[in-house]
Structure 1
Amino acid sequence: MSDRVRRGMLIKNNGTEEVSVSLGSRELRIGPGEERFITPEEVRDPTLRLALQERSISIVRPATEAEEEALQERLDEQSDA
Structure 2
Amino acid sequence: MADRDRRGMLIKNTGSVDEQVAMASRVIKLGPGEEEFITPEEVRDPKLREALQVRAIAIVRPATKEEDEALANRLATS
Regarding TM over 0.5, the answer is: yes
Q: Which residue pairs with 2:74 in the alignment?
A: 74
SS in 2 for 1:58: strand
Cα deviation for residue 55 of structure 1 reads 0.2
Q: 1:54 maps to what in 2?
A: 54
Moved over 2 A (4+): none
Structure 1 runs not aligned, ≥5 long:
none
Unpaired stretches in structure 2, ≥5 consecutive residues? none
Letter in 2 for 1:71: L
Report the aligned-residue RMSD.
0.7
Can you list the C-alpha shifts for 1:4-58, whole angstroms capped at 9, x where unaligned? 2211000000001110000100011011000000000000000000000010000
Tell me which residue corresponds to 2:12: 12
How far apart, CA to CA, are the structure 1 residues paired with 2:65 and 2:4? 15
How many residues are matched? 78
- Provide the residue aligned with 2:22 in structure 1: 22
State the 1:2 CA deviation: 3.2
